[in-house]
Structure 1
């Protein structure tokens, strides 16, 4: 195995610290998500495990409390038209910044699913009215559309939900009967604050992105958000006085915390922010590019010294770790201990993990 150069080691250490995987762990879900700004959230277990990997003393139930009782976080379609978990206060400026560019692709996908513009508009109005009255589950909203002749077959329902998000303030907020229900952001969180000027919003975006992902390139910000390269440059330029850069264009906040020691062996959930916060995943996955499949599935992984060395899965209460390269027995034991912590965090019964080792 080729030894990493000191510059690459320093970059990895800085990013792991920015991500909250190194250094002092967070003690609340809000601390984790506030640091990262947005956590990809199409996999409900994945974003809960992203919080686990960066915190201490928490359980998945604490995340439900933050969503349902404190109303401090919500999920909505934001960056790249993908569901993201964000702090409640950040939803209000991220939504107008990251969603307008999704409108044309939304119309196209609705048409592909057999939903006319009139049906989409009708569906959006029905959903917006329903969630303004009380939290609603997916099934209840689907039933509402079915009753009113709005197509829901195949992916039509999801794209009508997305269209509602683009034109209204639809978010997923409280957990009701084990499912995160849909609500109106204004009804659930209170009236929206005054809108930010676009340049101010881009500056805030760049600042918050670098806080959780720096050092990074301008291209990385554009990739992560789905914004244009021009907008990403405007954001970086607006905070230039607060940043430093190297000859390759990697930029970080001047007051970034000192890089902490590399974390111990740790299991990361599917779609962990460490795997999609930058355009290139090579520094983390190395030769194991298959942990992200061709159809965009981000597998759960095991991180050792800042590198992916295994994947894992959870079926019938048993967590199975499959190594992708030879892994020392001591590291395997550490991963098994973390597997027990994963089950405890999720509120599942204790059960020994299984390790499937790749032979040397």
Structure 2
């Protein structure tokens, strides 16, 4: 399989070249975990993969608890299917604790620190209460618990991974947190394999072809453990060589012809962020574009599976103004760009157009 076919297959398996007719929650289950730190971008990432889903529709899915926004892989907020929340958190939490150990030591945090915070969370959020980050911070400050220097971030992140809290409904534009056990009752879910192997299978089903190194980056586990998970999956995977690397994917449909449509991705879309090696999709990207000083990745324009430019948008009262920033030497037809803008406008419920 050549690079063009690999990108086409990834687009297909991520429901980007062929958006799904299934319920959005089923799409989230297929993707397994969708990066959702950038909330607006995450909503669009899901919307691109589902037919007829809107920005407001994603908000309603969260309110109805059909998808859960919670700390997950690498300690980062993700959209996760309700049935996957607890087994994934149980798998991931110990790893994030190991990775956060040195930072916690610098901040003077230990197991007792987190236990005290969780006890307070359980008290103030009981009986369906939903509180914002600032409200929780104020409560902790009054209890003489230091929330400065990223400590509050650690409390919220680990609160999700320890299955104490998750994100609740928005209050206007303000995010809230709720108790996970009240928001999401226990859902029995039987794993077919060991948890990391199960995660590897789910990863390759939605993101293959990929390498163990790609999976290691995505899930945050050491490469030795990830290679072992690939081996334990056995005949579930097939593999092939390209260049000096061996790629894996689950059995199923592959694509040969490149996807010719122009697609507008959020900066943290799983199509780009899921891989340690992004050279296939980003080989023409100018230096520095994908590593900005602030860590906020720009929205991406892709054509034939590759990044060809960036885009930004401004939401106005009567429409969406969009700006395309192409890379030097790359040209895209206006009709393809107009179609892409129309799809985004439909998702937002507003007319969208490119402006100079």
TM-score (norm 1): 0.86
Q: Which residue of 1 aligns with 2:58?
A: 63
Q: Is the 8 A contact 2:72 2:161 kept in 1?
A: no
Q: Which residue of 2 aligns with 1:268?
A: 265
CA deviation profile, 1:127-169 (whole Å, cap 9, x unmatched):
2333343222222212211221222234221112123234443
Alignment equivalent of 2:328, drawn from 319, 325, 328? 325
Which sits farther off after the overlay, 260-269 or 111-120? 111-120
Q: Which residue of 2 aligns with 1:156?
A: 151
Aligned residues: 346
Q: Within 5 A, what are the aligned runs for 1:223-238?
A: 223-238=217-232
State how far apart, in whole Å, the 1-side matches of 2:352 and 2:195 are. Answer: 47
State how far apart, in whole Å, the 1-side matches of 2:5 and 2:17 are. Answer: 13
CA change 1:168–1:181 in 2 (3 A) is same
Which sits farther off after the overlay, 72-81 or 209-218? 72-81
State how far apart, in whole Å, the 1-side matches of 2:239 and 2:184 are. Answer: 38
Q: Which residue of 1 aligns with 2:180?
A: 185
Shift of 1:104: 3.8
Shift of 1:97: 0.9
Secondary structure, aligned partner of 1:291? coil
CA deviation profile, 1:237-281 (whole Å, cap 9, x unmatched):
222212211134211112345567515111111201111111111
Q: Is the 8 A contact 2:32 2:80 kept in 1?
A: yes
State how far apart, in whole Å, the 1-side matches of 2:52 and 2:162 are. Answer: 39
Alignment equivalent of 1:125, drawn from 119, 125, 131? 119
Q: Is the 8 A contact 2:300 2:310 kept in 1?
A: yes
CA RMSD of aligned residues (A): 2.5
Q: Which residue of 1 aligns with 2:354?
A: 353
TM-score (norm 2): 0.87
CA deviation profile, 1:156-187 (whole Å, cap 9, x unmatched):
21112123234443211433434442222221
Q: Which residue of 2 aligns with 1:335?
A: 337
Secondary structure, aligned partner of 1:174? coil
Q: Within 5 A, what are the aligned runs for 1:233-244?
A: 233-244=227-238
CA deviation profile, 1:12-32 (whole Å, cap 9, x unmatched):
111111111123534532233
CA change 1:65–1:319 in 2 (3 A) is same
State how far apart, in whole Å, the 2-side matches of 1:24 and 1:47 are. Answer: 16
Structure 2 spans left out of the alignment, 5+ residues: none
Alignment equivalent of 1:36, drawn from 23, 31, 35? 31
Structure 1 spans left out of the alignment, 5+ residues: 1-5, 356-360
Shift of 1:188: 1.1
State how far apart, in whole Å, the 2-side matches of 1:175 and 1:352 are. Answer: 28
Alignment equivalent of 2:70, drawn from 65, 72, 76? 76
Q: Within 5 A, what are the aligned runs for 1:91-102?
A: 91-102=85-96
CA change 1:131–1:233 in 2 (3 A) is farther
State how far apart, in whole Å, the 2-side matches of 1:292 and 1:159 are. Answer: 26
Which sits farther off after the overlay, 231-240 or 290-299? 290-299
State how far apart, in whole Å, the 1-side matches of 2:35 and 2:222 are. Answer: 19
Q: Which residue of 2 aligns with 1:249?
A: 246
Q: Which residue of 2 aligns with 1:3?
A: none
Shift of 1:342: 1.9
State how far apart, in whole Å, the 2-side matches of 1:106 and 1:336 are. Answer: 45
CA change 1:287–1:174 in 2 (3 A) is same
State how far apart, in whole Å, the 2-side matches of 1:193 and 1:253 are. Answer: 25
